[in-house]
Structure 1
């Protein structure tokens, strides 16, 4: 958001720098202004002038990244509906039957249609109109998998797709577009720049809009939350820009924070924080009781399995037995069943219900004994792990179903309008003279840091340095802004001399 004001009168040279800062900085400050204000409230005016300059430059240079993130995020928000539109034949059953066939029959049908690969997992249908997913691992697919979709009522294969962590090709493509623009690790920098600066821009805009001079319209709640319908020109654009930003602020802070948790550099530091605070989700212990030798002896000859029983030699009948144990343990709804990787490991059954209220319980099952050997319950998650998990699901639009999607879409659309209005203000504030009309407005006045009181500098510089360490992309781009600003100032000064 921006809080640029109309051009102030020039009869008071001592207030010129403040007027310039509030107006969008159409001119450089006078020497008297650079000396620093001395009237009461000068500390706030100095902070405000610096915020105006920071908000302006961050908006101008970071807004393109935010615009791309908003557009790609808006497209990703509706991937569930797009998947149904594009892959409905695979995802939905033609007719709901009286009851599903055993998983044994469904897996056998999938394996008959696709004997290649290793049986990796089976995902039960989330609803009565959904298909069962039999997931196969193929070496040539790398980290992707072949998912076979089976009608649970007829055990008929309805199709197959190459998936990535359960996502369809369309969802995977849109996810890569939003995450890295299909440019790999290098492309992830774009989204980290956007997430790193988004909260800074929003926070600065809020401070500028809520901290306007006493007696102005923004002091009332209506003036803060609603655009000024009576305003014209740049004032009207500014009020729309700022009021919309206020409404979006909480959502934008949320998207910035959750986006940073899985970014490259800031995400690594977030992971270190979780390590230090022991805030990770509890790990499910899948090692069977008794150790390797005891387990192999116990399983020898049982249900046709000998030593070396693993995912490659899994009996499809075990899926039904394991599912029954998991259901008795309280795991309802959609679950994913994963065979053990070796003879000393248990099966894993995990709930995958992202809708509110969420269900993320997991259990380890020994089919030979028909019992749960270990469990990880959502109620046992540390607070940080819960916040991180729910934040990611909310960011992806999965937490509340359609309500979550609509909310994210409104935030994305609102951000797009805020960005457009911000650039429009820059254009509207361009100097217009008889002999020449500028294309764009000038930047806010330089040298605003000189107006800051010493305590602010003493506290602020270490705080910014620490913030730059925690969010490396923010720190590096801020340094780049400063270098460019200093270089521009030296060039301008050389022209004057």
Structure 2
């Protein structure tokens, strides 16, 4: 605890109002403090793994370019071969398999990618043939993943971050981390700011924002570093939590349903071509030229028709610039652009969703995005480690090797007025429905806490007061903020 005389004892109750009632925050603070403790101890390991693996993923584009340079880059050498010829060479490489799409080379040193949806490929994985656009040499064949076209090195780190290479079961870890991150961050920020507001004297703002400012060595400094750093990271942590849940199994499904009901989904071009002539194909070169004339510049993916009367679709796939996401449908028999969807016409929420996902992946604006994510993820790792340091420093006795910090004493929920109890329960029920893994894990926390309380009453019956409540000694320095 802070030994200075101008700092109140961390567990001292907030003063009552003139009418004898306690303020809303004074009533809720003990409950939030106890919840923050349990989430910090039991959920923080999942958050830590997600932060470390995410930090590794941030810089995988550079890793990919270094590891797979022979497939990605070529030496300039005159004019490009016709695109249909490059596709023919790739088809021959895979014994006549039919390609699903092609990503033409854009820069003078880029290779062309011809993508195949083979029966043996996993969901969102495609077999890709890399072709030198100048001489038609096949540079390699490998599996790529997702819209970003991630190569094996990048995909491995992506799957580590997403599911620890454990499939759908492993995705629960990342969803649990994303589901709790916003709650832990908001609760921690509220506790830290409220502690700063209770301080008297000058320098309160400095101590609020500067890690370790004005504190003595020991747990007081750990609390300051943990709280101030977390406050600086708050916006970034909320962003990572919200965007991370969009990929999750259960919360992500609820988010998708909400977007559909509110018409926030991403629009798509129509794949129906009226009066099309089946079997007539102007060729991929003409289709690409039509798309360029329609304004689809930069890196694009040309998808081949799956039906003889269906059109080609051309989509911009460079996510480093926030407006390069246009798409067009082009008639296979005439090369005419029959439908275009401009990113500028997206609903606002669809735009925000697109930008949010790209920023979460570190591709929006390139290196600046990566630097920001590195700072946030690195800061999160530090906050988690300082939190565990605080937990250790709060152990009841230095003489017990297994002694660790205890949570805020029980009874905070029972002490709430009935309207507040009803409000807390309603919020938890709605949150648990919208974010299922948070709700399930919170129920587990509550069940364990009830069992521990029951065990404590059974083992120490003489410690109960006339009301039947166990008199727990307050944890040493139990103010987590």
TM-score, normalised with respect to structure 1 = 0.85
Task: Look up the match of 1:282.
Answer: 267
Closer, same or farther: CA 218–490 of 1 in aligned 2, 3 Å:
farther
Task: Look up the match of 2:443.
Answer: 479
Question: What SS does structure 1 have at the residue aligned with 2:323?
Answer: coil
Count of residue pairs the alignment pairs up: 453
- Preserved contact between residue 8 and residue 19 of structure 1 (Cα < 8 Å): no
Q: Which has the higher helix share?
A: 1
Task: Look up the match of 1:415.
Answer: 380
**RMSD over aligned Cα atoms:** 2.6
Using the TM superposition, name which of 76-85 and 120-129 deviates more.
120-129
Report deviation, 1:99.
4.2
Pick from 336, 343, 346 the counterpart of residue 381 of structure 1: 346
Closer, same or farther: CA 142–475 of 1 in aligned 2, 3 Å:
closer
Closer, same or farther: CA 78–324 of 1 in aligned 2, 3 Å:
same
Closer, same or farther: CA 145–42 of 1 in aligned 2, 3 Å:
closer
- Preserved contact between residue 397 and residue 403 of structure 2 (Cα < 8 Å): no
Structure 1 distance, partners of 2:241, 2:419, is 29
Structure 2 distance, partners of 1:134, 1:160, is 10
Report deviation, 1:363.
0.5
Task: Look up the match of 1:33.
Answer: none
Closer, same or farther: CA 164–42 of 1 in aligned 2, 3 Å:
closer
Q: Deviations over 1:232-288 (max 9, x none)?
A: 101111111111111111110000000111211111111110111011111211111
Matches within 5 A, 1:224-235: 224-231=208-215, 232-235=217-220
- Preserved contact between residue 117 and residue 139 of structure 1 (Cα < 8 Å): no
Structure 2 distance, partners of 1:369, 1:438, is 76
- The answer as to 2:180 corresponding to 1:180 is no
Structure 1 distance, partners of 2:166, 2:13, is 39
Matches within 5 A, 1:45-194: 45-93=26-74, 95-143=75-123, 144-165=125-146, 166-194=149-177
Structure 2 distance, partners of 1:100, 1:237, is 61
- The answer as to 2:446 corresponding to 1:446 is no
TM-score, normalised with respect to structure 2 = 0.88
Report deviation, 1:461.
1.6
Matches within 5 A, 1:344-383: 344-383=309-348
Report deviation, 1:49.
1.3
Task: Look up the match of 1:325.
Answer: 290
Structure 2 distance, partners of 1:20, 1:127, is 66
Closer, same or farther: CA 116–142 of 1 in aligned 2, 3 Å:
farther
Task: Look up the match of 1:251.
Answer: 236
Closer, same or farther: CA 193–20 of 1 in aligned 2, 3 Å:
farther
Closer, same or farther: CA 247–438 of 1 in aligned 2, 3 Å:
same
Structure 2 distance, partners of 1:244, 1:92, is 42
Closer, same or farther: CA 399–452 of 1 in aligned 2, 3 Å:
same
- Preserved contact between residue 21 and residue 53 of structure 1 (Cα < 8 Å): no
- Preserved contact between residue 207 and residue 213 of structure 2 (Cα < 8 Å): no
Question: What SS does structure 1 have at the residue aligned with 2:68?
Answer: helix
Structure 2 distance, partners of 1:129, 1:413, is 34
Closer, same or farther: CA 472–67 of 1 in aligned 2, 3 Å:
same
- The answer as to 2:11 corresponding to 1:19 is yes
**Runs of 4+ more than 6 Å apart:** none
- Preserved contact between residue 206 and residue 213 of structure 2 (Cα < 8 Å): no
Structure 2 distance, partners of 1:99, 1:250, is 49
Using the TM superposition, name which of 80-89 and 199-208 deviates more.
80-89
Question: What SS does structure 1 have at the residue aligned with 2:101?
Answer: strand
Report deviation, 1:445.
0.8
Q: Deviations over 1:157-214 (max 9, x none)?
A: 2112122332212222222111111111111111111011000000001111111243
Q: Which has the higher contact order (CA 8 A, sep 6+)?
A: 1
Using the TM superposition, name which of 275-284 and 412-421 deviates more.
275-284
Report deviation, 1:437.
6.2
Report deviation, 1:492.
0.8
Closer, same or farther: CA 450–6 of 1 in aligned 2, 3 Å:
farther
Matches within 5 A, 1:256-335: 256-290=241-275, 295=276, 298-299=277-278, 302=280, 318-335=283-300
Report deviation, 1:117.
1.9
Report deviation, 1:20.
7.1
